[in-house]
Amino acid sequence: MKISTSRFGELEISEDAIITFPAGLVGLPRHTRYVVFDVEQNSGYQWLQSLDEASLAVIIVRADFIESDFHAQLTEENVKDLSILPDDQVEIVVTVSIPANRPDQATANLRAPIVVNLRTRVAKQIILHESIPLQVPLFAEVTESPQKETVCEQEVVKAS
């Protein structure tokens, strides 16, 4: 399938690469189809490119790249919305904001992670408790982060 983007020009993608957000991203409910591109090989950062709007793309990074023990408590509703089965693997990513001309002040949003069911390619941006940081500086201190091959942990919380 051929797509047109404002950042990357025309690209050929596999339909299997499409990630569907039935409810869209927070604030962008009409944009439901996305694909992920690497920013640079082995950088950890990726572009989440909308297929519905050529100019809409956000930088994402795995949540455990920012906080090694990060986990999201998924409600029963989240599990149902994402069609998560007991053996499914999920990936949890967060959006990155980079102020114009100030990349050293980039932040990650841990309060509204994106959860992707890797089997179904269905995703949902969830809102966590307000105690979770909305803007975590990416360059607060220089530390070496080990590369992980594990999938982010998930917890299911029963609604009362």
Average pLDDT score over residue span 44-58: 94
Q: Cβ(110)–Cβ(129) under 8 Å?
A: no
What is the structure's pLDDT at 43? 78
Q: How far apart are CA 94 and CA 48, in angstroms?
A: 10
Domain that holds residue 134: 2-157
Q: How confident is the model at residue 8 (pLDDT cuts 50, 70, 90)?
A: confident
What is the structure's pLDDT at 140? 63
Helix, strand, coil share (%) of the chain residues, nearest 5? 10, 40, 50
Q: Cβ(115)–Cβ(83) under 8 Å?
A: no
Q: How far apart are CA 49 and CA 53, in angstroms?
A: 8
Structural domains of the chain, count: 1
- Residue 134's CATH number: 2.30.290.10
Q: What is the pTM of this model?
A: 0.82
pLDDT at 120 over 90: yes
Strands 71-75 and 153-157: parallel
CA dihedral 112, 116, 35, 56 (to 10 degrees): -20
What is the structure's pLDDT at 141? 55
Q: How far apart are CA 95 and CA 133, in angstroms?
A: 13
What is the structure's pLDDT at 90? 95
Strands 136-137 and 107-108: antiparallel
